[in-house]
Structure 1
């Protein structure tokens, strides 16, 4: 999918609108992560993916052929530059929010795994038929709810 621009002015205008829309979606996702609601961020994944793919494609086209935008009025190109700067700032914010969520999630998984391991050790038992934790050889699976 590509932008349908007839000239540089239209292309710059469409790129600006695309960049602003993608910035808005990423900002909303960041807010969801910051509010500890990653499941809400997931609702925006399809749109974010579609917009990001179009943005990547169009950015590569312009990088390969700057003539696609160079004839646009300076004020429109400056607006695109400002939109791109805002997008970069939101991406940095999003990266911090995702890393924080990842850190918390990994910590929770570690705590759950440690608890499962400690419970398994307590269930070894005593007596002639008892199994030691190291001799049981049983693996324990952990299933996590996607909404948790």
Structure 2
């Protein structure tokens, strides 16, 4: 999907609206993460992905052909610049919020793994095969940690 503009003013106006909508969606996602309700961010994912794809496509198009915007009125171009600056700021905010949520989640996983390990270490000796006493009880549970998650 691409922007179908009739002239430079129209293209700048549409890019501004697109940028402002993306900024709003990403701010809502960041707010959900900041308030420890990441599940609420899920409702914005589909629209954000679609609009981000259009934004990426149009940004590349303008980058390769700046003449598409050069003849636009200065006040419209200035509004697009302000919208882009706000977009960059909200992207940075979202990155911080997502990183914080990731850190908390990783901490919880490590705490659970440590608790399981300590409970296993404190378990009493049991009888193993052939009636031999073993120091390690045989549990059917396993836990895997992926440091790349």
1:88-107 superposed matches below 5 A? 88-107=88-107
* Deviation, structure 1 residue 138: 5.9
Residues 25-84 of structure 1, C-alpha deviations (whole Å, 9 max, x = no match): 000001101100000012211111111111111101100100111111110000000000
- Please name the residue that 1:32 is paired with: 32
Return 5+ residue gaps in structure 1 as ranges: 143-148
* Deviation, structure 1 residue 19: 0.1
* Deviation, structure 1 residue 120: 2.4
CA RMSD of aligned residues (A): 2.0
TM-score (norm 2): 0.86
* Deviation, structure 1 residue 85: 0.4
SS in structure 2 of the partner of residue 102 of structure 1: helix
* Deviation, structure 1 residue 6: 1.6
Return 5+ residue gaps in structure 2 as ranges: 145-149
Specify which of 132, 135, 148 is matched with residue 132 of structure 1. Answer: 135
C-alpha distance in structure 1 between counterparts of 2:99 and 2:141, whole Å: 30
Instruction: Determine if the alignment matches structure 1 residue 58 to structure 2 residue 43.
Output: no
- Please name the residue that 2:147 is paired with: none
C-alpha distance in structure 1 between counterparts of 2:30 and 2:135, whole Å: 47
- Please name the residue that 2:83 is paired with: 83
- Please name the residue that 1:19 is paired with: 19
C-alpha distance in structure 1 between counterparts of 2:133 and 2:26, whole Å: 55
